[in-house]
Structure 1
Amino acid sequence: MTDLTITGGEVLLPSGPARVDLSVKDGRIAGLHAPGSAPAAPETLDATGLTALPGIVDIHFHVRAPAYPERGTVASETRAAAAGGVTTLFEMPISKPCCATPEIFEDRRAHFAENAVVDFGLYAAPGDLTEATRDRFLEQGAIAFKIFTTPAPAGRGDEFDGLAFPEEDDQFRALKVLAGTGRPVVVHAESAALLAHFETMARNTLDPSSGYSHNLSRPAVCESTAVAKLLAMNITAGAKLHIAHVTSAETVAVLRAFKGTSDFTAETCPQYLFATEADVDRAGIYAKVNPPIRTQADQDALWEAIADGTITHVTTDHAPFAKAEKQASEGNFFTAPPGSPGIETMLPAMLDAVSAGRLSLKQAHDLICANGAALYGLAPRKGSLLPGADADIALVDLAGETEVRLGGLVSHARDVAHLWDGRRFRGRVARTLLAGRTVWDGRQVTGREGGGRFVTP
Structure 2
Amino acid sequence: MEAGMAVKVLKSQRVVLGQEICSASIVLKDGKIQDIVKDSDKNKLHLGQAMDFGDLVIMPGVIDSHVHVNEPGRTDWEGYWTATRSAAAGGITTIVDMPLNSIPPTTSLRHLQTKLQAAEGQCFVNTAFWGGVIPGNEQELRPMISAGVPGFKCFMIHSGVDEFPHVTEKDLHKAMAELQGTGSVMLFHAELELEDLKQTGKSKADPCEYSTFLDSRPENMEVEAVQQVCQLCLRYQVRCHIVHLSSAKALSITDAARKAGAPLTVETTHHYLNLAAEHIPRSATHFKCCPPIRSQVNQEKLWHALKEARIDMVVSDHSPCTVGMKKLGTGNFLEAWGGIASLQFGLPLFWTSAKKRGFSLQDIVMLLCQKPAELSSLASRKASLLPGYDADIVIWDPDKEYEITEECVHHKNKLTPYLGCKLHGEVIATIVAGKITYIKGQFAPEPPGQLLFVK
What is the alpha-carbon distance in structure 2 between the residues aligned to residue 226 and residue 116 of structure 1?
A: 35
What is the alpha-carbon distance in structure 2 between the residues aligned to residue 327 and residue 181 of structure 1?
A: 43
Residues 66, 315 of structure 2: 8 Å contact kept: yes
Question: Aligned letter for 2:65?
Answer: I
Question: Aligned letter for 1:449?
Answer: P
Change (3 A) 1:448 1:202: farther
What is the alpha-carbon distance in structure 2 between the residues aligned to residue 329 and residue 221 of structure 1?
A: 31
Structure 2 counterparts to residues 49-128 of structure 1, below 5 A = 49-94=55-100, 95-127=102-134
Partner of 1:413: 413
The count of residues paired between Structure 1 and Structure 2 equals: 445
In the TM superposition, what is the alpha-carbon distance from 1:340 to its structure 2 partner?
1.3
TM-score (norm 2): 0.92
Structure 2 counterparts to residues 161-240 of structure 1, below 5 A = 161=165, 164-165=166-167, 167-194=168-195, 197-198=196-197, 201=200, 203-240=202-239
Partner of 2:147: 140
5+ residue gaps, structure 1: none
Change (3 A) 1:340 1:383: same
Residues 400, 427 of structure 1: 8 Å contact kept: yes
Residues 277, 294 of structure 1: 8 Å contact kept: yes
In the TM superposition, what is the alpha-carbon distance from 1:199 to its structure 2 partner?
6.9
- Cα deviations by residue, 1:357-402 (Å, 9 ceiling, x for unpaired): 4311111221111112123221231010111111111101011123
TM-score (norm 1): 0.92
What is the alpha-carbon distance in structure 2 between the residues aligned to residue 239 and residue 408 of structure 1?
A: 42
5+ residue gaps, structure 2: 1-5
Q: Secondary structure at the match of 1:114?
A: coil
Change (3 A) 1:230 1:451: closer
Residues 121, 142 of structure 1: 8 Å contact kept: yes
Structure 2 counterparts to residues 280-429 of structure 1, below 5 A = 280-281=280-281, 284-327=284-327, 330-414=330-414, 416-417=415-416, 419-429=417-427
Change (3 A) 1:421 1:202: farther
Residues 85, 429 of structure 1: 8 Å contact kept: yes
Q: Bigger CA drift: 240-249 or 7-16?
A: 7-16
Change (3 A) 1:370 1:217: same
- Cα deviations by residue, 1:218-262 (Å, 9 ceiling, x for unpaired): 011100111011111222122100000011121122222323231
Residues 354, 361 of structure 1: 8 Å contact kept: no
In the TM superposition, what is the alpha-carbon distance from 1:113 to its structure 2 partner?
2.1
Question: Aligned letter for 1:385?
Answer: L
Partner of 2:452: 454
In the TM superposition, what is the alpha-carbon distance from 1:354 to its structure 2 partner?
4.4
Residues 33, 388 of structure 2: 8 Å contact kept: yes
Matched, 1:32 2:59: no
Q: Secondary structure at the match of 1:301?
A: helix
Question: Aligned letter for 1:412?
Answer: K
- Cα deviations by residue, 1:136-169 (Å, 9 ceiling, x for unpaired): 101110121111101343xx322x04xx20x222
What is the alpha-carbon distance in structure 1 between the residues aligned to residue 45 and residue 432 of structure 2?
A: 20
Residues 100, 127 of structure 1: 8 Å contact kept: yes
Matched, 1:440 2:447: no
Partner of 1:6: 10
What is the alpha-carbon distance in structure 1 between the residues aligned to residue 73 and residue 302 of structure 2?
A: 34
Question: Aligned letter for 2:24?
Answer: V
Question: What RMSD, in angstroms, separates the aligned Cα atoms of the two structures?
Answer: 2.1
Change (3 A) 1:202 1:303: farther
In the TM superposition, what is the alpha-carbon distance from 1:280 to its structure 2 partner?
2.8
1:430 to 424, 428, 431: 428
What is the alpha-carbon distance in structure 1 between the residues aligned to residue 277 and residue 130 of structure 2?
A: 30
Question: Aligned letter for 1:170?
Answer: D
Residues 390, 435 of structure 1: 8 Å contact kept: yes
Residues 72, 104 of structure 2: 8 Å contact kept: no
Question: Aligned letter for 1:172?
Answer: H
1:157 to 154, 162, 185: 162
In the TM superposition, what is the alpha-carbon distance from 1:452 to its structure 2 partner?
3.0
What is the alpha-carbon distance in structure 2 between the residues aligned to residue 369 and residue 283 of structure 1?
A: 35
Residues 147, 453 of structure 2: 8 Å contact kept: no
What is the alpha-carbon distance in structure 2 between the residues aligned to residue 202 and residue 332 of structure 1?
A: 17
Q: Bigger CA drift: 283-292 or 202-211?
A: 202-211
Q: Secondary structure at the match of 1:381?
A: coil
Residues 176, 237 of structure 1: 8 Å contact kept: yes
In the TM superposition, what is the alpha-carbon distance from 1:313 to its structure 2 partner?
0.9
Change (3 A) 1:253 1:437: same
What is the alpha-carbon distance in structure 2 between the residues aligned to residue 134 and residue 3 of structure 1?
A: 39
Structure 2 counterparts to residues 37-52 of structure 1, below 5 A = 39-40=46-47, 44-52=50-58
Question: Aligned letter for 1:64?
Answer: N
What is the alpha-carbon distance in structure 2 between the residues aligned to residue 202 and residue 364 of structure 1?
A: 43
Residues 189, 244 of structure 1: 8 Å contact kept: yes
Residues 147, 186 of structure 1: 8 Å contact kept: yes
